[in-house]
Amino acid sequence: MKQIWNEMYQMAKSVQNERKISDYVEAGGVAAAILSSSGKIYTGVCVDTCSALGICAERNAIFNMITNGEQEITKVLAVMPDGKTGAPCGACRELMVQLMPGSYQSIEILLDYETEKVITLGELTPEWWIS
């Protein structure tokens, strides 16, 4: 496995820290790492609320990247509560497609850390409405 995936996984794990913030908000069940086109890694955690105000870890990491002046993603991974990696949800896929409509297909996603299975967003999200 490429060293960058290991580094991204470790960075996501380091911020995961699942916790209850209040009776209405929990955070850190899922953590994500995004590799930008500049080679910088951005992280984020999910924030779950009792209403629709929460956010997924991947979108949180993407917004962190945007806040820091970047907008192009090359790699994404999400670490679930059990330590395994998984695919981004539909809302996260939609944001990546809208962020990079001409090149989202090439974004790599680490589906399974243990088996080193990588898929592109184009394979995971074929014929999206923007295409």
How many structural domains comprise the chain? 1
pLDDT at residue number 129: 80
pLDDT value for 89 = 93
Residue 129 lies in a domain: no
- pLDDT at 130 (0 to 100): 73
**Does residue 81 fall inside a structural domain?**
yes
Residues in the chain with pLDDT < 70? 1, 131
pLDDT of residue 108: 98
46 in a domain, yes or no? yes
- C-alpha pair distances (Å), 83 with each of 20, 21, 31, 48: 18, 21, 10, 18
Residue with tokens 């009776």: 23
Q: Which residues contact 58 (CB under 8 A, 6 or more apart)?
A: 32, 34, 44, 76, 78, 88, 89, 92, 95
Q: Which domain holds residue 65?
A: 3-124
At 68 the pLDDT is 98
| Domain presence at residue 100 | yes
pLDDT at position 5 is 97
Q: The domain that contains 94 carries what CATH number? A: 3.40.140.10
- In this prediction the pTM is 0.94
Residue 70 lies in a domain: yes
How many residues are present in the chain? Answer: 131
Q: What pLDDT, on the 0 to 100 scale, is given for residue 128?
A: 79
Task: Tell me if 131 is assigned to some domain.
Answer: no
For residue 130, tell me if it sits in a domain: no
pLDDT recorded at residue 131: 58
pLDDT attached to residue 16: 97
Domain assignment present for residue 16? The answer is yes
